[in-house]
């Protein structure tokens, strides 16, 4: 594997990537379910967007979680479980839909981090 690819796309642990990838599958599944109820065919551009967003979602989520960890630290908030699940779903939807824009930040950080580690 090329070193740049290994340091960027291979920068997340396989377990983390797989877990986030599975959660990222929620949104294209919802889209396919809703669009299957209509009589229109899906455009190629939409399929490309769905695939790209799903594949990049783990990197987008990585950026989001690192920012939240930086801001929140180790604080713990007690809240209603349904509110927490709703907020989690909203942040997942934002990270998935903007993954094409957010993930490059995570990929650049992973490249920098793994390059620094190797030297």
Cα separation, 40 vs 1, whole angstroms:
41
What pLDDT score was predicted for residue 119?
52
Task: HSE, CB side, 13 Å, CA atoms: give it for residue 116.
Answer: 6
Tell which residue, 53, 51, 50, 61, has the closest CA to residue 17: 61
Task: Decide if pLDDT at 118 tops 70.
Answer: no
Which residue's structure tokens are 């909203």? Answer: 90
What's the whole-model pTM score? 0.86
Cα separation, 91 vs 38, whole angstroms:
28
Task: Decide if pLDDT at 97 tops 90.
Answer: yes
Contacts of 4 (CB under 8 A, 6+ apart): 111
Could you tell me the two tokens for 15?
Answer: 């377990």
Could you report the per-residue pLDDT of 16-44, keeping only the tens digit for each? 999 999 999 999 999 989 888 877 777 88
Burial class from Cβ neighbours inside 10 Å (0-12, 13-18, 19+) for residue 15 reads exposed
Could you tell me the two tokens for 74?
Answer: 């180790």
Could you report the per-residue pLDDT of 29-84, keeping only the tens digit for each? 999 898 888 777 778 899 999 999 999 999 999 999 999 999 999 888 899 999 99
């Amino acid at each position: 594997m090329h070193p740049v690819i290994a340091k960027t796309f291979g920068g997340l642990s396989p377990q983390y990537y797989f877990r986030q990838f599975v959660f990222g599958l929620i949104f294209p599944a919802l889209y396919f379910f809703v669009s299957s109820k209509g009589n229109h065919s899906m455009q190629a551009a939409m399929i490309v967007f769905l695939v790209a967003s799903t594949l990049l979602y783990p990197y987008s989520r990585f950026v989001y979680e690192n920012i939240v960890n930086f801001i929140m630290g180790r604080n713990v908030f007690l809240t209603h479980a349904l509110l927490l699940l709703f907020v989690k779903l909203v942040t997942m939807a934002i990270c998935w839909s903007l993954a094409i824009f957010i993930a490059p930040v995570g990929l650049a950080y992973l490249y920098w981090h793994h390059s620094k580690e190797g030297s």
